[in-house]
Amino acid sequence: MPAEAWIIGAAMTRFGRYPDLDVIDLAAEATLGALADADASIQDIQMMAVGCLSEAPNMLGQRLAKQIGQTGIPIYNVANACATGATAMRTALMAIKAGEADMALAVGAEQMGKMGLLGNAGRSRPKPAGFTPSGRYGSVMPVEGIIGTQLMPGVFAQVGMEYANDHDGVGFEQFAKVAEKNHAHSALNPLAQYQKPFSLEEVMAAEMVAYPNTLLMCCPTGDGAAGVVLCSDSKLATLDPDVRHRAVKISASVLTSDPYTPSEMADFDVSTLTRQAAALAYEQAGVAPADLDLVELHDCFATAELVHYDNLQLCEPGGAGEFIDRRGPWRDGSTPVNVSGGLLSKGHPIGATGVANVYEVATHLRGEAGDRQIEGARVGLTHVIGLGSACAVHILEKAAS
Amino acid sequence: MTMTEAATRGRRIPAVGYLVIDQGDPYLVAQECSSCQAMFFDRRNACARCGGLDFAPKPLGRTGVIRSFTVVRRAAPGVTVPYVSATVALDGGGMVKANLVGIEADPANIQLGGRVKLTTFVAGTDEEGTEAVAFGFTPA
Ligand SMILES: [Zn+2]
């Protein structure tokens, strides 16, 4: 077994829109918050991994250090689509496990503004001068919307509809119930971008983006940051009892990429790599799905969350529709899922997400989640997926005090 | 008018390289790994399944069933909405994503598991008059 690693500090900004701040401000707030929470200073940190999809090529980690403390430590700027934050977390963890650092920072941050659902794929099309096949598909023109859709809302809508094709009892209403739940959960989370509950009828009647996902079933864009301070087992033993008492154990950390599957000929397969990551994580942690007290999973769209119930073994195989119908993933259900409000309502500043869900689970395990606390939580799981694809799963446990 | 312009005027060209339109009925063609038979639509460096280096063109079936679909109502600028994007499992093997055409873009009209057949349509014309031919599926 590898040496154990611990989370001793965690913080996040409220997710939302911060037009008067820059991404360094957001990252600094989360990082300084995590250091204060760990009763540590930047001088104690021997390595830092900073995830930001838009600013990783622009040395965000070093620009952050220039604001909060330039100590000359190695800084890794990481990007891995929507798994960027979790990849930063895992990069810091690997440095600790490798013995290169006994205390490290993982930070995720993003400032997206109001870029809209479609991101940079929504470019306008110039009139073609002459058709010439180009690219790996020999395309003579942009074919988005002409030969299927490759944009996120449609891709994840089709992920859900494929599950509906393969399993009974799954349809528009089941997907909508996922969003009803996450919006309801977010009303208890002061850090969520939106904190407003919506009825199932309101979710289903909202503007249709890509059937079966309405606007209330798609995550918003937004700004925010999260940070965690990690330390080694041996370092933990030297720390103040108040810090040790609140430490959260990292029982599993897994990152997968998408293995070859025949369906990739047509579309991304977001399930196989998630299933593999989950199976590995449960094995690493010696934890069964039934042991989980809460799960924060990657609900970029309501359709995605439903499919991940099955991928993460939170329901019977094929039983994701029945699971949401019986309110299993509600905060008072058998396995609470996305009690933070999830990406759908807490928000999804891309680089921040994979650290923010670690913050969320750790905060519950410490018994410090306030109104949204899952009472007695001892074991939790976080999951993110970046389309393309990367999947990260972490299992966290309350210290056996 | 140059020789080249004259030669291209009135020409038709597939919108993507894996659509064949000049060999009778249009069909899709995959690159099939000679070692493990994995199929791909894109230009390959090696096989993603087995690492094999040799590929042969494999014509695919013109009919299949709908595995998944979405009705897109918010799209990139210049794309007409609503439209239906679907994944089709082709008879004889292979899977492809394309639009369902010739039907109303209403989920009530589309059946998961429903049978469809390949069709083609002109997706655009360039300044030289060459037509780009794309493919989609219609109910069979
Ligand atoms: Zn092969």
Written as six digits, the tokens of B99 are 């639009």
The whole-angstrom distance between A17's CA and the closest CA on chain B is 23
Check B71 against A124: CB less than 8 A apart.
no
Say what the pLDDT of residue A3 is: 55
In angstroms, what is the span from residue B53 Cα to ligand 1's centroid?
A: 8
Mutation for testing the B interface, residue in A115, A132, A140 having most B CBs under 10 Å? A140
Residues of A with Cβ-Cβ distance to B49 under 8 angstroms:
260
Per-residue pLDDT at B2 exceeds 90: no
Per DSSP bridges, beta strands A47-51 and A103-111 are parallel
Residues of B with Cβ-Cβ distance to A145 under 8 angstroms:
72, 75-76, 79-81, 83, 85, 99
Quickly list DSSP for A66-83.
HHH------EEEE-BTBT
The whole-angstrom distance between A92's CA and the closest CA on chain B is 30
Average pLDDT over residues A15-28: 97
Q: What percent of chain B has pLDDT over 70?
A: 93
Q: Respond yes or no: is residue A364 known to be catalytic.
A: no
Per-residue pLDDT at B89 exceeds 90: yes
Residue A145 in contact with partner chain B when CB distance is under 8 A:
yes
Q: Helix (H) and strand (E) counts for chain B?
A: 1, 10
pLDDT one-digit tens code per residue, A237-254? 999 999 999 999 999 999
Average pLDDT over residues B45-72: 98
**How confident is residue B77, by pLDDT bands cut at 50, 70 and 90?**
confident
Angle between helices A350-365 and A84-97 (to 10 degrees): 60
Q: Which of A220, A225, A295 is nearest to A14 (CA)?
A: A225
The whole-angstrom distance between B26's CA and the closest CA on chain A is 15
**Peptide bond between residue A212 and the one before it cis (omega within 30 degrees of 0):** yes
CA distances from A194 to A109, A190, A259, A303, B138 (A): 18, 9, 36, 19, 41
Q: Which CATH superfamily is domain A5-115+221-246 in?
A: Thiolase/Chalcone synthase (3.40.47.10)
Average pLDDT over residues B126-140: 95
Domain residue spans of chain B: 3-139
Per-residue pLDDT at A78 exceeds 50: yes
Q: List the single residue in A129, A137, A140 with the smallest CB-CB distance to B18.
A: A137
Per-residue pLDDT at A292 exceeds 80: yes
ipTM of the complex model: 0.93
In angstroms, what is the span from residue A65 Cα to ligand 1's centroid?
A: 46
Domain residue spans of chain A: 5-115+221-246
Per DSSP bridges, beta strands B63-72 and B131-139 are unpaired
Q: Are A36 and A9 in contact (CB under 8 A)?
A: yes
Q: List the single residue in B73, B98, B128 with the smallest CB-CB distance to A148.
A: B98
Question: Please, what is the average pLDDT of chain B?
Answer: 93
In angstroms, what is the span from residue B60 Cα to ligand 1's centroid?
A: 18
Per-residue pLDDT at B7 exceeds 60: no
Per-residue pLDDT at A1 exceeds 50: no
Check A141 against B132: CB less than 8 A apart.
yes
Average pLDDT over residues A75-82: 98
Per-residue pLDDT at A343 exceeds 70: yes
pLDDT one-digit tens code per residue, A110-168? 999 876 655 444 455 566 788 999 999 999 999 999 999 999 999 999 999 999 999 99
Distance CA A238, CA A370 (A): 29
pLDDT one-digit tens code per residue, A196-238? 999 999 999 999 999 999 999 999 999 999 999 999 999 999 9
| Model confidence, pTM | 0.95
Q: Respond yes or no: is residue A298 known to be catalytic.
A: no
* Catalytically annotated residue among A308, A348, A364, A383: A348
Count of residues for chain B? 140
Residue A207 in contact with partner chain B when CB distance is under 8 A:
yes
Per-residue pLDDT at B103 exceeds 70: yes
Say what the pLDDT of residue B4 is: 53
Say what the pLDDT of residue A323 is: 98
In angstroms, what is the span from residue B55 Cα to ligand 1's centroid?
A: 9
Q: What percent of chain A has pLDDT over 90?
A: 94
